[in-house]
């Protein structure tokens, strides 16, 4: 038996920025993603058709952010695990500052900021840099959740 690879258009999804995204994927005919190997006939061809629940199980819905570029010689200046539980029908938010008001620094300039969403099911929040950031010695990050959901971010700030 041979293995057939086809291009499957998964559908349209609305992104956080309001743009429609077409999910295109190359699928292997013998993949476990298909409905028990069942084929559906379309214009005389055997084209496999996965169910939507199988598609959604294989898609990662994180809100990861990367600003700047990490360079040789950079060191980790700050790391924080910011999380908050959701409240029914409310948006929860939190602010993260580097350096902390009680913290003294050696004047390092931020070269790279990585904010990683630890929720992979699409219920995570968003992160916005309100002031400072790459090229500055400080950063102020505002984290907010979706309505009725919490957030869970891992924040890393690098610099030299």
Residues contacting residue 80 through CB under 8 Å, at least 6 positions apart: 96, 154, 155
Residues contacting residue 11 through CB under 8 Å, at least 6 positions apart: 22, 23, 52, 55
Cβ neighbourhood burial of 100 (10 Å; 0-12, 13-18, 19+): exposed
Q: What is the reported pLDDT for 107? A: 87
Q: What is the pTM of this model?
A: 0.62
Residues in the chain predicted with pLDDT less than 50, given as ranges, are: 1-45
Contact (CB, 8 A) for 153 and 127: yes
Q: What is the reported pLDDT for 103? A: 85
38: DSSP letter: -
Q: What is the reported pLDDT for 3? A: 42
Buried-exposed string 10-32: b where 16+ CB fall within 10 A, e elsewhere: beeeeeeeeeeeeeeeebebeee
Q: In whole angstroms, give the CA distance from residue 58 to residue 35.
A: 14
Q: Which one, of 109, 140, 136, 112, lies nearest residue 127 by Cα?
A: 140
Q: What is the reported pLDDT for 97? A: 96
Contact (CB, 8 A) for 152 and 143: no
Number of other residues whose CB lies within 10 A of the CB of residue 106: 7
């Amino acid at each position: 038996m041979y293995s057939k690879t086809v291009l499957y258009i998964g559908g349209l999804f609305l992104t956080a920025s309001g743009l429609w995204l077409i999910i295109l994927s190359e699928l292997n005919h013998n993949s476990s993603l298909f409905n028990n190997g069942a084929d559906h006939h379309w214009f005389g061809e055997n084209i496999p058709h996965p169910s939507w629940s199988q598609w959604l199980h294989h898609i990662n819905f994180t809100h990861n952010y990367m600003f700047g570029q990490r360079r040789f010689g950079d060191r980790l200046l700050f790391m924080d695990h910011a999380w908050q539980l959701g409240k029914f029908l409310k948006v929860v938010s939190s602010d993260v500052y580097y350096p902390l008001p009680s913290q003294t620094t050696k004047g390092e300039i931020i070269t790279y900021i990585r904010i990683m969403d630890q929720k992979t099911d699409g219920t995570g929040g968003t992160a916005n840099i309100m002031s400072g950031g790459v090229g500055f010695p400080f950063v102020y990050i505002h984290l907010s959740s979706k309505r009725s959901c919490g957030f869970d971010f891992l924040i890393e700030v690098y610099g030299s």
